[in-house]
């Protein structure tokens, strides 16, 4: 049976609010996700929150009831509260009807099966949580095997990144590692490393991609280091016909991913 919390001073409310900060997420091993759509995506992917906060006026919604039932069955806690507290937890003035607190689910390279998908996404020093979330959504859309984050990237479990992923964080495996570990793992089996670069004349539509294809997107401002580009099996360029010299990192990743998908489906 859900308990009720309406006081800002409640210790659990204070604890959960702190999860908006990376240091506290790391200490607790927990992160926040908000919104009925995202939590339903998580539930369908087998991820159940440890704590579920929901607004009184949404308690009768069948999806909320399903979440409450699954949380309590899994040994978690469902908590009925008020919109003001949901706003405090999410940091938004117009909070969603539900907020969940999930255990972080770290993955490593050894857990990935490269033969499970034709497309894999790799991002190097990605800084923007919106870009990370959008790349995750692209990965879900094209059936990518996972997203591999290289170096000092934005935290995929930040509130902003989780929100931007629209639930794809729960469906697309995410691994964080350093470049040396990634290349060692990559070269231990099949895999074509394709880099998005401005320093090439190879049009992305004219290139041939072989599965599994690992699409490498560099840092939003600096692109990828020359040493990383040198290790790519293929460098390709998306032509720019206007005044801009490059696309947004997430957009470029999506354009490339759909070209690889198109080629893989025509084989």
pLDDT score at 245: 65
Task: Render pLDDT for 189-241 as a digit per residue (tens, 0 to 9).
Answer: 999 999 998 888 899 999 999 999 999 999 888 888 999 999 999 999 988 77
Residue 100: closest CA among 148, 54, 63, 62: 54
First to last CA, the chain: 54
pTM: predicted TM-score of the whole model, two decimal places: 0.91
Length of the chain: 267
Whether the Cβ atoms of residue 2 and residue 79 lie closer than 8 Å to each other = yes
Per-residue pLDDT at 121: 98
**Two tokens, residue 17:** 């609010």
Helix (H, G, I), strand (E, B) or coil at 174: strand
Q: Are strands 30-34 and 98-103 parallel, antiparallel or unpaired?
A: antiparallel
The chain-wide mean pLDDT, for the chain, equals 92
Token pair recorded at residue 116: 């499970």
- What's the Cα-to-Cα distance from 35 to each of 4, 145, 223, rounded to whole Å? 19, 25, 33
Which one-letter DSSP state was computed for residue 155?
P
**DSSP conformational letter for 183:** H
pLDDT (tens digit per residue) in 65-88: 999 999 999 999 999 999 888 988
* DSSP class of 76: -
Burial class of residue 17 in the structure, from the number of CB atoms within 10 Å of its CB (0-12 exposed, 13-18 middle, 19+ buried):
middle
- Domains annotated for the chain, with CATH where assigned, are 3-103 (3.30.1330.30), 109-266 (3.40.1280.10)
């Amino acid at each position: 049976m859900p308990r009720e919390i309406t006081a800002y001073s409640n210790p659990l409310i204070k604890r959960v609010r702190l999860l908006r900060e990376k240091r506290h997420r790391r200490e607790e091993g927990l992160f926040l996700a908000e919104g009925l759509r995202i939590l339903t995506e998580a539930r369908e992917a087998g991820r159940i929150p440890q704590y579920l906060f929901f607004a009184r006026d949404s308690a009768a919604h069948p999806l909320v009831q399903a979440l409450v039932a699954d949380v309590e069955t899994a040994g978690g806690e469902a908590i009925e509260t008020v919109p003001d507290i949901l706003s405090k937890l999410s940091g938004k003035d117009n909070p969603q009807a539900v907020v969940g607190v999930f255990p972080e689910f770290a993955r490593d390279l050894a857990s990935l099966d490269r033969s499970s998908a034709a497309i894999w996404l790799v991002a190097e020093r990605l800084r923007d949580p919106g870009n990370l979330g959008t790349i995750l959504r692209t990965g879900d859309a094209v059936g990518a095997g996972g997203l591999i984050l290289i170096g000092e990237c934005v935290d995929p479990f930040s509130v902003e990144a989780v929100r931007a992923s629209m639930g794809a964080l729960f469906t697309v495996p995410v691994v964080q590692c350093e470049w040396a570990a990634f290349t060692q793992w990559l070269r231990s089996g099949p895999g074509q490393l394709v880099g998005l670069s401005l320093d090439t004349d190879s049009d992305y539509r004219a290139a041939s991609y072989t599965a599994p294809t690992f699409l490498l997107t560099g840092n939003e401002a600096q692109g990828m280091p020359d040493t990383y580009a040198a290790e790519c099996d293929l460098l390709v360029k998306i032509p720019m016909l206007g005044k801009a010299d490059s696309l947004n990192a997430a957009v470029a990743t999506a354009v490339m991913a759909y070209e690889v998908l198109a080629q893989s489906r025509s084989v």
